[in-house]
Amino acid sequence: MFPQNKLNRINELAKKKREVGLSQDEAKEQSMLRAEYLKFFRSSMVNTIENLKVIDPNGTDVTPQKVKDIKNRKKLH
């Protein structure tokens, strides 16, 4: 989970940017925090997709082949 204090800081900076603007240092901080958040989010999303298994109402595995291929490659490493 992404640290709550960093999420709070991202939100504080976004609010300040809307209301009064940011200094150069604050803009850099905001950019770094957003990049860190996006990296975490993407990693989390990839992990979710890699562990995905789709089952139709008949109980048949209909997981997309692309996801199966990713799982197989991961097992080899």
The candidate with the shortest Cα–Cα distance to 63, out of 74, 71, 55, is 55
pLDDT lower than 50: segments of the chain = none
pLDDT for 52 = 86
Q: How far is CA 26 from CA 4, 9, 32, 39, in A?
A: 19, 10, 10, 20
Q: What are phi and psi of 54, to 5 degrees?
A: -105, 125
SS3 assignment, position 61: strand
To the question of pTM greater than 0.95 for the whole model, the response is no
pLDDT for 40 = 97
Which uninterrupted H or E stretch holds 22?
A: none
The candidate with the shortest Cα–Cα distance to 31, out of 14, 8, 51, is 14
